[in-house]
Structure 1
């Protein structure tokens, strides 16, 4: 696997590049419930439908969460975009079971050392309308190994409305612990996590379709 090589200096420089990039690329970045987490470290999870997802995590972390974030990323993608290593990305190769275990164990060590881990339990990128989401059991494995770590669910939904550029809507859900999950097996607990994620994503979609921006903050507007 490819480990992270996080660099605070690179993060600071990259932030100055990313913020203008988001303004050039999106008409709006709407967020609901985007607030600091009750504790650090934590496990963030999200649906994965766009290359932008990881960059948006970096943006919100620098803007709101301010965790020492490390992100699990597909090995092929990390080799293609190696700079993500300096933002805290590490790889997983899902075609090799030993590599999957190595990546999960690496994530566990990061959490135990006080660092926050971001996971996309779908594994690969899928269209945002795909249901079920198809979560892998890695998230349940990691929660089982780190039962006191809160899991923070994030939903991303990309849309075009009335402007030339697209926009992204982001929902942060309530954190939950391993002990709150129903079921006894990893498969059952993963299914419970996925069902909750689908409900949250579908609620977010309903806001987008109804164009209900009132409950959302536009993070591209200073002072909003």
Structure 2
């Protein structure tokens, strides 16, 4: 049976709805999506792109969606997901998600065929968790799934853009979603290498981006970041209601944050 065509299934109407839904869900469970000020994506126009990210968390798919919609809205996103998982969330096929059979040669061939189809359009971007499995953001070398080394052959005009993600807790109840893009690697650079040299090269580029993001994360300084999406602040519940009432009785403006230092504007 032929796999569904992710390009044909993608629906801007569904994307608009789920952008709203994902943003609300993010706001409920995360403090903020923050992009390192040095880490904006350098995606060249008119060139297909492969964003290859580390894979520290379940939240990575939400990060892909929000980063794409806030920074690269004019570049349609496509991303693979294990077929067994996508069967549980079939609506995601309308968002550019396509299923892959993991752990088999047949699945790898099907993935590369679909990736080649997606990247024929120079506006398209393929977003991939490069390790192919969950991996702590401090793991070195960063794992690179075998299919990644064949992708330059499927899209010789593409750029390969590293994306580092991290989810530390700072001074509030909810975690931060931190992101940074690294310098693009032309597919031609990878094609000039032996296949076995490509994975270490991609891993090193991704590690350099992740290590720099880690330095900013350790600083716990929001001014090192551009805040793209704000979550709800404060603890919530009875304690926050009590604090709000106290501020009202004192005639003060209520600030739900624990850390009330001002943040620099984006």
Using structure 1 for the length normalisation, give the TM-score: 0.91
* 1:105 aligned partner: 113
Name which of 138, 150, 168 aligns with 2:147: 138
> 5+ unaligned residues in a row in structure 1: which ranges?
none
Deviates more, 1:73-82 or 1:6-15: 73-82
Give the Cα–Cα distance (whole angstroms) in 2 for the partners of residues 161 and 99 of structure 1: 40
2:152·2:188 contact (CA, 8 Å) conserved in 1?
Answer: no
* 1:42 aligned partner: 49
Deviates more, 1:188-197 or 1:111-120: 111-120
CA gap of 1:76–1:2, structure 2 versus 1, over 3 A, is: farther
1:215 matched to 2:224: yes
2:27·2:230 contact (CA, 8 Å) conserved in 1?
Answer: no
* 2:92 aligned partner: 84
* 2:61 aligned partner: 54
* 1:150 aligned partner: 159
Deviates more, 1:2-11 or 1:192-201: 2-11
Give the Cα–Cα distance (whole angstroms) in 2 for the partners of residues 84 and 204 of structure 1: 29
SS at match of 1:112: coil
* 2:239 aligned partner: none
1:10 matched to 2:14: yes
Greater gyration radius: 2
Give the Cα–Cα distance (whole angstroms) in 1 for the partners of residues 152 and 104 of structure 2: 21
Name which of 63, 66, 78 aligns with 2:70: 63
What is the deviation of 1:184? 3.0
1:74·1:124 contact (CA, 8 Å) conserved in 2?
Answer: no
What is the deviation of 1:128? 2.3
SS at match of 2:216: helix
Aligned pair count?
224
CA gap of 1:91–1:168, structure 2 versus 1, over 3 A, is: same
Q: Which runs of 4+ in 1 moved over 4 A?
A: none
